[in-house]
């Protein structure tokens, strides 16, 4: 079956999203690790479980500004019957305590300072009154009160991060607090990107009648970055077998390759035939709208994607297939890092049985929660529908549409990136 | 009122979050623009409205693979009574059409190819049967059907992006499709970061008894990146007036400065007094838990933040105050770019009237939607509570707590970053 015959006859059979994902992800392996400074690890995926080499905190410390005391001394203290203690000095911050607290005594202490020997609680400054060395305590404390115990946050040897965790500022902080300054993270999968089509002109060239600006490579490169990969744009390739074969050979030097057609493919679509010669075609045609002309190949263990050429279809097919492949290569604990919010559909949307539809929606906030407003469909060439959208609603294969007012899950487009 | 007296007596009055934000944001101006290549603009904030210099698409094109026809010729066509047309040739992709369609004729056309003169519709290939030059059409089309009209996505002169929009892959695609390869975005605000405290050691040094690893600068730097700023770490400064004055003078060379105490501040807290000498103190002490010892100053138009030293308090105070300040400087349309999801509280959490509490929660998925599971409070030194958390629930000042099963809004921590 040549590409021509497929395109001009229509696909004879479409693979469901679920089947396609199963077949795809089953063959994807993890990339190797690399060691990076923790201070440059933001957004990276932890390669292997990380254990703390120390207790955090590594000494008992005061959780409040106040006075270190022996708790028993304060029992029975009240506003009307304060307990009187003698202040013997102050525990300095940042060094070992130089004094010891005995019965009837108190030591001034600031938040974070080490608890001096024999003291077992801290009275908050708010519950005291001090005149020279005499301290009145107006409220009792129990042993351990207002003390952060050694190892309270993390115990030596404890697992602090699991393999697959994506590093946010708090994971970075945790590693550094434990004295870890380098971390093994998954290498960023290197993703080759190429677009094919005689009609394509580069982004600097004003397109003539019939020509189209080749923006897909840039769209794909940014999506690769968002999902944790390292894009490499190979360029635009005209529809001729020699050029396309060259592009394929180049692309197979990377961990993954993503091709996208020009706006049109049709009878000049040599790419699938050439890829089939070089590896296995595992999917050609998926039951989705948009994005159905997606094809997926494997060349040994390397996935090669052919995404449809229309920008909206490119972005959606990327999100559905390429993104989880990148995340699986990374060993990420969440293959789909998007946030899902619940919303009420603002109007009815029809769909076809047996196909998964991806509806672009804008989210509006109402007193009763989120409202999902479907944007005019307008075909997969309409980039404004993606620009105006906050996310997508999936209509499953076994459903004929969504009614007005029905509750749906909206997958939000990734937004925060640096 | 000296820092010592404040810390050792407690704050006499706390500012509410709302008041503090109003006072802060009222004085924040926008940073200037810079021009960047669109292909490197991911995550940036658009500085001024952008208008398209061209129609997109810039010619009428086929939305399907099939045959360009004169719609009227197909009226009445059906499976049993196909209309017969003569195929006069093919419209090539990527160049102006070389033929013209007359009554009774059809031209083979692929998706994206320009519609030839006089044709006004495209019949999908699925509804045709072709033998040599003879085409049978089994289904009628209306004028305009399966044609993407010139300007259907974007009209020349149309506003395509508004000032303040954060650029995602789709915004990048839109700009490139319109022939725009450079875009004016807000400069990244340059944020100076310094930590003060005699107890702090750098991240490479094992801390002695009483000492603490100075991780806050790195935490803050990553948060600055996440929210769109450019961090500059000045370092760790001991608690002495000369060193701190030097740090302040350095910090004031940037667009914004963020200081954080060591784990403890207490009587050696020279920073607020010195900052007060150099500018206006607009807030000292906010009614939050954690994060209450936050102070905000202005030196002319530059905001200077003093965040509490405990890591959790640092992160939360940053999110509440510094993040919206950065976003306002950027002119971002959303001052708070976090995603909010609705969830059911898994258990009761108490709080104090007059104070805004920030509860770290883990999100679990259930059949009835999200469940927000509050993590053990454990004080603001417990970094694990942030690592285990997916987001935060705010308990407002006028509420004494949240009941089990109550519906809450969870602000998710930013997750996807590259």
Q: What is the per-residue DSSP string for A339-375? A: -EEEEEESS-EE--TTSEEEEEEEEEEETTEEEEEEP
Q: What is the pLDDT of residue B3?
A: 36
From residue A46, how far is each of A49, A182, A261, A323, B25 by CA, in Å? 7, 11, 35, 18, 37
pLDDT band at B263 (very low <50, low <70, confident <90, very high): very low
User: What's the gap in Å between the CA of B352 and the closest CA on chain A?
Assistant: 17
pLDDT digits (tens, 9 = 90+) for B364-378: 999 999 999 999 766
Would you give the DSSP letter of residue A387? Answer: H
Cβ–Cβ under 8 Å, residues A381 and A328 = no
Asked if B160's CB is within 8 angstroms of A39's CB, the reply is: no
Residue B290 sits at the chain A interface (C-beta within 8 Å): no
Would you give the DSSP letter of residue A257? Answer: E
Query: How many Å apart are CA B43 and CA B383, to the nearest integer?
Result: 28
Residue B416 sits at the chain A interface (C-beta within 8 Å): yes
pLDDT band at B252 (very low <50, low <70, confident <90, very high): very high
Q: Which residues of A touch B336 (CB under 8 A)?
A: none
Give the burial class of B365: count Cβ atoms within 10 A of its Cβ; 0-12 exposed, 13-18 middle, 19 or more buried: exposed
What number does CATH give the domain A61-148? 2.170.190.11
Torsion of CA A83, A89, A94, A97, to 10 degrees: -90
pLDDT band at B415 (very low <50, low <70, confident <90, very high): confident
Q: Mean pLDDT, to the nearest integer, of A201-227?
A: 96
Query: How many Å apart are CA B172 and CA B54, to the nearest integer?
Result: 16
Give the burial class of A405: count Cβ atoms within 10 A of its Cβ; 0-12 exposed, 13-18 middle, 19 or more buried: exposed
Token pair listed for B314:
């640092």
User: What's the gap in Å between the CA of B204 and the closest CA on chain A?
Assistant: 7
| Ramachandran class of A45: left when φ > 0, alpha when ψ lies in -120 to 50, beta otherwise | beta
Find the angle CA(B256)-CA(B258)-CA(B261) to the nearest 5 degrees.
160
CA end-to-end span of chain A: 45
Percent of chain B with pLDDT over 90: 83
Residue A184 sits at the chain B interface (C-beta within 8 Å): no
Q: What is the pLDDT of residue A417?
A: 53
Token pair listed for A264:
């049109």
User: What's the gap in Å between the CA of A191 and the closest CA on chain B?
Assistant: 15
Ranges for all domains in chain A classified under CATH 2.40.340.10: 340-412
Token pair listed for A224:
């690769």
Q: Which residues of A touch B38 (CB under 8 A)?
A: 203, 218
Helix (H) / strand (E) containing A66: strand A66-69
Q: What is the pLDDT of residue B6?
A: 42
- Whether A6 has a pLDDT exceeding 90, the answer reads no
Window 9-28 of A: residues touching B by CB (8 A cutoff) are: 9-10
From residue A281, how far is each of A23, B62, B288 by CA, in Å? 11, 28, 58
Cβ–Cβ under 8 Å, residues B38 and B44 = no
- Whether A264 has a pLDDT exceeding 50, the answer reads no
Residue A177 sits at the chain B interface (C-beta within 8 Å): yes
User: What's the gap in Å between the CA of A405 and the closest CA on chain B?
Assistant: 17
A and B: number of Cβ contacts within 8 A: 331
pLDDT digits (tens, 9 = 90+) for B302-352: 999 999 988 999 999 999 999 999 999 999 999 999 999 999 999 999 999
Listed in order, strand segments (DSSP E) in A93-201 are 105-109, 121-124, 128-131, 134-137, 147-148, 159-161, 182-186, 190-196, 200-201
Closest-CA residue to A235 (of A253, A254, A211, A216): A216
Closest-CA residue to A297 (of A312, A279, A315): A279
User: What's the gap in Å between the CA of B267 and the closest CA on chain A?
Assistant: 8
pLDDT digits (tens, 9 = 90+) for A162-208: 999 999 999 999 999 999 999 999 999 999 999 998 889 999 999 99
Q: Which residues of B touch A97 (CB under 8 A)?
A: 210
Q: Mean pLDDT, to the nearest integer, of A15-28?
A: 97
**Other C-beta atoms within 10 Å of A277: how many?**
9
Query: How many Å apart are CA A113 and CA B254, to the nearest integer?
Result: 32
pLDDT band at A263 (very low <50, low <70, confident <90, very high): very low
Cβ–Cβ under 8 Å, residues B261 and B309 = yes
- What's the whole-number average pLDDT of chain B? 92
Percent of chain A with pLDDT over 90: 83
Q: Which residues of B touch A10 (CB under 8 A)?
A: 125-126
Over the Cα atoms of chain B, what is R_g?
31
Asked if A383's CB is within 8 angstroms of B56's CB, the reply is: yes
Q: Mean pLDDT, to the nearest integer, of B374-383?
A: 80
Asked if B198's CB is within 8 angstroms of A154's CB, the reply is: no
Residue with tokens 């002109």: A201
Query: How many Å apart are CA A213 and CA A205, to the nearest integer?
Result: 8
Q: Is A17 helix (H, G, I), strand (E, B) or coil?
A: helix
**Other C-beta atoms within 10 Å of B116: how many?**
22
pLDDT digits (tens, 9 = 90+) for B58-71: 999 998 889 999 99
Query: How many Å apart are CA A188 and CA A388, to the nearest integer?
Result: 30
* Residues linked to residue A201 through DSSP beta bridges, in sequence order: A213
Q: Mean pLDDT, to the nearest integer, of B33-40?
A: 98
Q: What is the pLDDT of residue B273?
A: 85
3-state secondary structure chain B: CCHHHHHHHCCCCCECHHHHHHHHHHCCCCCCEEEEEHHHCCCCEECCCEECCCCECCCCEECCCEEEECHHHHCCCCCCCCEEEEEEEEECCCCCCCCCCCCCEEEEECCCCECCCCCCEEEEHHHEEEECCEEEECCCCCCCCCEECCCCCECCCCEEECCCCECCHHHHHHHHHCCCCEEEEECCCEEEEEEECCCEECCCCCCCCCCEECCHHHHHHHHHHHCCCEEEEEEEECCCHHHHHHHHHHHCCCCEEEEEECCCCHHHCCHHHHHHHHCEEEEECECEECCCCCEEEEECCEEEEEECCCHHHHHHHHHHHHHHHHHHHHCCCCCCCCCEEEEEECCCEECCCCCEEEEEEEEEEECCEEEEEECCCCCCCCCHHHHCCCEEEEECCCCCEECCCCEEEEEECCCCCC
* Range A3-32+187-330: architecture per CATH: 3-Layer(aba) Sandwich (3.40)
Q: Which residues of B touch A209 (CB under 8 A)?
A: 58-59, 95-96, 114
* Residues linked to residue A131 through DSSP beta bridges, in sequence order: A134
- Whether A267 has a pLDDT exceeding 60, the answer reads no
Ranges for all domains in chain B classified under CATH 2.170.190.11: 61-148
pLDDT digits (tens, 9 = 90+) for A341-369: 999 999 999 999 999 999 999 999 999 99
- Mutation target for B interface from A92, A170, A380: give the one with most B CBs within 10 A: A170
Asked if A381's CB is within 8 angstroms of B148's CB, the reply is: yes
pLDDT digits (tens, 9 = 90+) for B82-121: 999 999 999 988 899 999 999 999 999 988 899 999 999 9
- The crossing angle, in degrees rounded to 10, of helices B271-278 and B241-251 is 50
Query: How many Å apart are CA B222 and CA A168, to the nearest integer?
Result: 8
Q: What is the pLDDT of residue A266?
A: 54
Q: Which residues of A touch B223 (CB under 8 A)?
A: 169
Q: Is A206 helix (H, G, I), strand (E, B) or coil?
A: coil
Residue B89 sits at the chain A interface (C-beta within 8 Å): no
pLDDT digits (tens, 9 = 90+) for B186-223: 999 999 999 998 889 999 999 999 999 999 999 999 99
pLDDT digits (tens, 9 = 90+) for A302-323: 999 999 988 999 999 999 999 9
- Whether B9 has a pLDDT exceeding 80, the answer reads no
Residue B73 sits at the chain A interface (C-beta within 8 Å): no
Assign domain A340-412 to its CATH superfamily.
MoeA, C-terminal, domain IV (2.40.340.10)
Q: Which residues of A touch B266 (CB under 8 A)?
A: 65, 93, 110-111
Q: Among the CATH numbers 3.10.129.10, 1.10.8.640, 3.40.980.10, 3.40.50.1980, which is that of B3-31+188-330?
A: 3.40.980.10
Ranges for all domains in chain A classified under CATH 3.90.105.10: 33-56+152-186
pTM, rounded to two decimals: 0.93
Please list the alpha-helical segments (H only) found in A282-410: 311-317, 323-330, 384-387
Asked if A172's CB is within 8 angstroms of B219's CB, the reply is: yes
Residue A230 sits at the chain B interface (C-beta within 8 Å): no
Residue B381 sits at the chain A interface (C-beta within 8 Å): yes
Q: What is the pLDDT of residue B150?
A: 96
User: What's the gap in Å between the CA of A407 and the closest CA on chain B?
Assistant: 11
Query: How many Å apart are CA A114 and CA A59, to the nearest integer?
Result: 7
User: What's the gap in Å between the CA of B81 and the closest CA on chain A?
Assistant: 21
Torsion of CA B386, B387, B390, B396, to 10 degrees: -10
Q: Which residues of B touch A341 (CB under 8 A)?
A: 339-342
pLDDT band at A156 (very low <50, low <70, confident <90, very high): very high
Q: Which residue has the higher pLDDT, A377 or A383?
A: A383
Query: How many Å apart are CA B216 and CA A376, to the nearest integer?
Result: 47
Query: How many Å apart are CA A101 and CA A87, to the nearest integer?
Result: 9
User: What's the gap in Å between the CA of B112 and the closest CA on chain A?
Assistant: 5
Q: What is the ipTM of this complex?
A: 0.93
Would you identify the CATH topology of the domain B33-56+152-186? Molybdopterin biosynthesis moea protein, domain 2 (3.90.105)
Phi, psi of B157 (to 5 degrees): 90, -10
Residue with tokens 């190797």: A32
Asked if B174's CB is within 8 angstroms of A384's CB, the reply is: yes
Window 291-350 of B: residues touching A by CB (8 A cutoff) are: 309-311, 315, 337, 339-342
Token pair listed for B146:
């399966």
Q: What is the pLDDT of residue A111?
A: 85
Q: Mean pLDDT, to the nearest integer, of B228-246?
A: 93
Q: What is the pLDDT of residue A77?
A: 97
Closest-CA residue to B342 (of B271, B273, B393, B274): B393
Q: Which residue has the higher pLDDT, A378 or B50?
A: B50
| Ramachandran class of A108: left when φ > 0, alpha when ψ lies in -120 to 50, beta otherwise | beta
Q: What is the pLDDT of residue B47?
A: 98
Please tell me whether the peptide bond between A290 and the residue prior to it is cis, using omega within 30 degrees of 0: yes
Which chain B residue has the Cα nearest residue A10?
Answer: B126
**Other C-beta atoms within 10 Å of A1: how many?**
12
């Amino acid at each position: 079956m040549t590409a021509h015959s497929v395109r001009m006859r229509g696909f004879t059979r479409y693979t469901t999203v679920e089947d396609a994902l199963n077949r795809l992800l089953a063959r994807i392996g993890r990339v190797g690790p690399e060691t990076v400074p923790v201070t440059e690890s933001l957004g990276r995926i932890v390669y292997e479980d990380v254990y703390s080499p120390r207790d955090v905190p590594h000494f008992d410390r005061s959780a409040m500004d106040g006075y270190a005391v022996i708790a028993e001394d304060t029992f029975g203290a009240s506003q009307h019957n304060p307990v009187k203690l003698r202040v013997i000095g102050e525990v300095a911050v940042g060094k070992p305590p130089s004094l010891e607290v005995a019965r009837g005594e108190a030591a001034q202490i600031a938040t974070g300072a080490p608890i001096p020997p024999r003291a077992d609680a801290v009275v908050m400054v708010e519950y005291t009154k001090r005149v020279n060395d005499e301290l009145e305590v107006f409220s009792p404390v129990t042993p351990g009160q207002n003390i952060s115990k050694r190892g309270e946050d993390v115990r030596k040897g404890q697992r602090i991060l699991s393999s697959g965790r994506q590093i946010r500022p708090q994971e970075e902080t945790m590693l550094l607090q434990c004295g870890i300054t380098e971390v093994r993270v998954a290498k960023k999968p290197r993703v080759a990107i190429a677009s094919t089509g005689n009609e394509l002109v580069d982004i600097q060239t004003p397109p003539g009648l019939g020509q189209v600006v080749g923006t897909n490579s840039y769209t794909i490169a940014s999506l690769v970055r968002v999902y944790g990969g390292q894009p490499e744009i190979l360029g635009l390739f005209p529809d001729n077998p020699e050029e396309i074969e060259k592009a394929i050979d180049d692309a197979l030097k990377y961990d993954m390759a993503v091709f996208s057609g020009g706006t049109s493919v049709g009878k000049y679509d040599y790419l699938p035939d050439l890829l089939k010669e070089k590896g296995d075609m595992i999917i050609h045609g998926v039951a989705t709208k948009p994005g159905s002309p997606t094809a997926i190949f494997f060349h040994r263990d390397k996935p090669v994607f052919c995404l449809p050429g229309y920008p909206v279809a490119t972005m959606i097919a990327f999100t559905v297939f390429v993104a989880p492949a990148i995340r699986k290569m990374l060993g990420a604990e969440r293959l789909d890092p998007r946030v899902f919010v619940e919303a009420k559909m603002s109007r009815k949307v029809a769909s076809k049985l047996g196909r998964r539809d991806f509806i672009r929606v804008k989210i509006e906030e109402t007193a009763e929660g989120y409202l999902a407003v479907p944007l005019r469909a307008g075909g997969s060439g309409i980039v404004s529908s993606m620009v105006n959208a906050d996310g997508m609603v999936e209509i499953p294969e076994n459903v004929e549409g969504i009614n007005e007012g029905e509750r749906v899950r909206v997958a939000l487009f990734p937004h925060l990136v640096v």
